Amino acid sequence: MLDIALIREKPDWVKERLARLNDAEAVARIDTIVALDKQRRALLTEAEALQAARNKLNKNVGALRGSKKLDEAGKAVQAAAAVQAIDAGDYDAAARYMTGETVASGTGAADSLDTLMAALRALGERVETLNDEVKGVEAQLDEAMFWLPNMPHDSVPVFPSDEHNKPWPAEGQMPEFDFQPRPHWELGPALGIIDFERGVKLAGSRGYVLKGWGARLQRALISFFLDMAREKGFEELYVPYFVKEDMMFGAGQFPKFRDVVYFDADADVYMLPTAEVAITNLHRDEILDEAQLPLYYVAHTPCFRREKMSAGRDVRGIKRLHQFEKVEMYKFTTPETSYAELEALVEAASDICRALKIPFRRLEIVTGDLGFSASKKYDVEMYAPGCNEWLEVSSCSNTEDFQARRSNIKYRGGESKRPQFVHTLNGSGLATPRVIIAILENYQQADGSVRIPDVLRPYLGGAEVISARG
RNA sequence: GGAGAGGUCGCAUAGUGGACUAGUGCGCUCGCCUGGAACGCGAGUAGGGUGUCACAGCCCUCGAGGGUUCGAAUCCCUCCCUCUCCGCCA
């Protein structure tokens, strides 16, 4: 969510930023938002003035009805005058007649008090009508605001699409083979550690089963990832794998990416497409102390994605799946430190690649490929020689206060008066089974066996090689 | 899943139709007192919206949403959550 006040004050500046995303729809939305905001405030002024009048008159009517100074005839006279004032729109005068502060002249009919009640009822109904109008406009405004993507940081290269994402120089030793390296979709089944046929039998397209060393390798990786993060100060979390709808809005998945998630209509909950959704909302509706920041969290969860948009793409192997495992690192920070924290986050992901001794590179994401929530984003890609691809194993983003606004997460600074929004960052550290692809393809040997990276051996009982013999 | 009790300010509690402009205690902050502290005394102590140069002011929020009423923390309905007991269960 962007700041409505910023849009109100500098619509053209915001448009220019959004234009960098190559998202014409987002830019066009600004005019709609400005108009709705204006309409909302005009209605609100009117509604609140009337509401204030109603509150005051309702309070005074009790005083009039219960007045000991006035007899019935006297009350009728005051009531009649009050009704006249209300009809004329002079609510202050009406209030004074009702308290007896202004003594009315003339006569009052016997039913003047009833007439006054009716006038108050009518006033109440007008307030309700106006409030409904305000709510209607607010709903439209919220809808428009929720569809608006985040603005790119000034440092993000301005290009229209992912073809222009800027790779940094690769790090690590590129593997050299004296044989033709095989892709993982051959190695896995040959080793008996990936079973595609039975996976599809169980779950349909993109289903897979990891067996034996495949399953153990994944479990080892997850433990290793969590340990790496913990050593860097991330607190480990175990979170729900499904969340309520508001959480999906809070993290920026909804409304735009509604069709990528699995939904339990009966319980009205959504399966996580990433742990980021759960962790973002961990501190929803909270005001944190500045002294608590930065907060570092890490969680391992499965991730469920329908991959509707990419039906037919990457159907081979275990690169793009409906279900995969990911260790997610997450930070809540102050605005001052979030960009330094982003660099540290990418380094944390890179350190895992270094420890596994797999060649990797950082990809600087351009404006046209930033996604919905990020202000700035880096991907980390591992090289896979078998399929000759760079595999995205991590994506690290600073969303600035975009998610914090949606989830209402603030902090109170030392001296500062008003709570302000935190910045949130997320980065995979890392995702599997993609890392399994990289291990199989980088560590394969001529006989089809695969060496186990040194750092994982302690997690696998000291084993050094995975071979078809088991 | 069944039966019952409950959800009010950071925490604890009061509040059964208008005086609630939500009281009190604790906690916290500031001041006075003190050589310094404790005690005591005094003041302050939510969030959001609107508005303003900034204040002020006004509006909303007592789990959520509806309803009754001139007026709802308070009465009615629906839902959510928590607790106790029972049943089932890794």
State the Cα–Cα distance between residues A58 and A407, nearest whole angstrom. Answer: 37
Q: Which tens digit of pLDDT belongs to each residue from A8-28?
A: 999 999 999 999 999 999 999
Nucleotides of B under 7 A from a protein CB: 18-19, 21, 47-51, 58-60, 69-71
pLDDT for the residue A312 = 76
- Do residues A367 and A395 both lie within one domain? yes
- Do residues A316 and A404 both lie within one domain? yes
Q: Which tens digit of pLDDT belongs to each residue from A346-386?
A: 999 999 999 999 999 999 999 999 999 999 999 999 999 99
Q: Which residues contact A171 (CB under 8 A, 6 or more apart)?
A: A350, A353, A354, A359, A360, A361
Q: CB < 7 Å to strand B — which of 10-69 in chain A?
A: 41, 44-45, 48-49, 51-52, 54-59, 61-62, 65
Q: What separation, in Å, do the N-terminal and C-terminal C-alpha atoms of chain A show? A: 52
Query: Token digits for A171?
Result: 């790090």
State the Cα–Cα distance between residues A273 and A261, nearest whole angstrom. Answer: 6
Where b means 16+ CB within 10 Å and e means fewer, A424-435 reads bbbbbbbbbbbb
Query: Token digits for A317?
Result: 């192997």
Query: Token digits for A9?
Result: 């004050």
The percent of residues above 90 in pLDDT, for chain A, comes to 75
Whether residue A166 has pLDDT greater than 70: yes
Q: Check residues A416 and A319 and name the one with the higher pLDDT.
A: A319
**What is the residue range of A58's domain?**
4-146
pLDDT for the residue A470 = 63
Provide the CB-side half-sphere exposure for A428 (13 A, CA). 24
Q: Which tens digit of pLDDT belongs to each residue from A73-118?
A: 888 888 899 998 998 888 988 888 888 888 888 887 888 888 898 9
- Do residues A174 and A132 both lie within one domain? no
Lowest mean pLDDT among A195-204, A233-242, A310-319, A433-442: A310-319
Q: Please give the average per-residue pLDDT across A112-126, as a whole number.
A: 89
> Å from A54 (CA) to B8 (C1')?
25
Domain assignment present for A396? yes
- Do residues A33 and A132 both lie within one domain? yes
User: Of A119, A146, A173, which marks where a domain is finished?
Assistant: A146
CB A429, CB A328: distance < 8 Å: yes
> C1' nearest to CA of A47: which nucleotide?
B59
State the Cα–Cα distance between residues A184 and A429, nearest whole angstrom. Answer: 21
- Do residues A201 and A282 both lie within one domain? yes
Domain assignment present for A151? no
Whether residue A66 has pLDDT greater than 80: no
State the Cα–Cα distance between residues A114 and A112, nearest whole angstrom. Answer: 5
- Do residues A97 and A169 both lie within one domain? no
Q: What is the 3-state secondary structure (H, E, C) of A251-268?
A: HCCCCCCHHHCCEECCCC
Number of domains into which chain A is organized: 2
- Do residues A446 and A394 both lie within one domain? yes
> Å from A415 (CA) to B45 (C1')?
15
What 3-state DSSP class applies to A412?
Answer: strand
State the Cα–Cα distance between residues A405 and A143, nearest whole angstrom. Answer: 15
Average pLDDT, whole number, for chain A?
92
Of A220, A221, A214, the residue nearest A194 (C-alpha): A214
Q: Please give the average per-residue pLDDT across A411-439, as a whole number.
A: 88
> Å from A415 (CA) to B32 (C1')?
24
Whether residue A269 has pLDDT greater than 80: yes
- Do residues A315 and A408 both lie within one domain? yes
Whether residue A416 has pLDDT greater than 60: no
- Do residues A104 and A183 both lie within one domain? no
CB A104, CB A80: distance < 8 Å: yes
Q: Residue A287: phi, psi to the nearest 5?
A: -115, 110
Q: CB < 7 Å to strand B — which of 212-271 in chain A?
A: none
Query: Token digits for A83?
Result: 């009704």
Domain assignment present for A154? no
The residue type at A331: K
User: Of A146, A171, A192, which marks where a domain is finished?
Assistant: A146
What 3-state DSSP class applies to A3?
Answer: coil
> Å from A335 (CA) to B42 (C1')?
39
- Do residues A186 and A242 both lie within one domain? yes
Whether residue A424 has pLDDT greater than 80: yes
pLDDT for the residue A379 = 97
The CA-based diameter of chain A, rounded to the nearest angstrom, is 111
DSSP label of A444: B
pLDDT for the residue A65 = 78
Whether residue A149 has pLDDT greater than 90: yes
- Do residues A390 and A441 both lie within one domain? yes
Residue A200 pLDDT class (50, 70, 90 cuts): very high
Q: Which residues contact A8 (CB under 8 A, 6 or more apart)?
A: A34, A37
CB A442, CB A365: distance < 8 Å: no
Name the pairing type of β-strands A409-412 and A286-289: parallel
ipTM for the assembly: 0.89
A6 CB closer than 7 A to any strand B atom: no
Query: Token digits for A122?
Result: 């009518």
pLDDT for the residue A415 = 57
* ω into A430 cis (within 30 of 0): yes
User: Of A93, A122, A146, which marks where a domain is finished?
Assistant: A146
Q: Which residues contact A415 (CB under 8 A, 6 or more apart)?
A: none
pLDDT for the residue A267 = 83
CB A336, CB A359: distance < 8 Å: no
Q: Which residues contact A413 (CB under 8 A, 6 or more apart)?
A: A290, A334, A420
State the Cα–Cα distance between residues A95 and A52, nearest whole angstrom. Answer: 12
Domain assignment present for A254? yes
Residue A265 pLDDT class (50, 70, 90 cuts): confident
Task: Indicate which CATH number applies to the domain containing A361.
Answer: 3.30.930.10
Of A336, A299, A286, the residue nearest A427 (C-alpha): A299
- Do residues A297 and A335 both lie within one domain? yes
pLDDT for the residue A365 = 97
List the A263-264 sheet strands across, edge first: A242-244, A269-271, A263-264
Of A120, A102, A101, the residue nearest A112 (C-alpha): A120
Taking the CA atoms of A184, A188, A193 and A198 in sequence, report the sign of the dihedral they define. positive
What 3-state DSSP class applies to A165?
Answer: coil
Q: Long-range contacts: A449-454, Cβ < 8 Å, 24+?
A: A449/A191, A450/A187, A450/A191, A452/A217, A453/A356, A453/A357, A453/A358, A454/A357
pLDDT for the residue A164 = 95
Q: Please give the average per-residue pLDDT across A140-144, as a whole number.
A: 92
